[in-house]
Amino acid sequence: MTTYPSGASEHACKITVLRKDFNEDFYDQYPYEHRGPCGVHEVGQEFVTTNVWEPPAGLCPWAWADLRPIIQRIGSGSSTIMVSCCTDGLRPVYFRCEPAGSGATSSCAPRCE
């Protein structure tokens, strides 16, 4: 695998929005910004990137910061499919990150317990 100075990689990563949640009970206690789920992404929205440093157009920069370690792993050639979410506790968005193309495998990654 080659990583280019621009941050580009030979291995593309596909990012898919799986779900948007809104934790109304938390919002009632700790309100900020708008009431409701994330307004940036829609379920089913897809992004493909070969750049491990710059988010693709339209992807929330905060979500990118949370997903970037997974994207770097896929950019280095991992065939693992992972599900993760942004760290907005009031309105989290869940993403599936996988290699673009065939050969991806499901992962049982370590988790916090």
pTM of the entire predicted model: 0.82
Predicted local distance difference test score (pLDDT) of residue 8: 55
The pair phi, psi for residue 12, each rounded to 5°, is -85, 150
Segment among 1-10, 29-38, 72-81 with least mean pLDDT: 1-10
Contact between 93 and 20 under an 8 Å Cβ cutoff? The reply is yes
More confident residue, 108 or 64: 64
pLDDT tens-digit map of 62-97: 999 999 999 999 999 999 999 999 999 999 999 999
Predicted local distance difference test score (pLDDT) of residue 10: 78
Contact between 99 and 17 under an 8 Å Cβ cutoff? The reply is no
Who's near 30: CB < 8 A, 6+ residues apart? Answer: 90
Q: Say yes or no to pLDDT of 7 above 70.
A: no
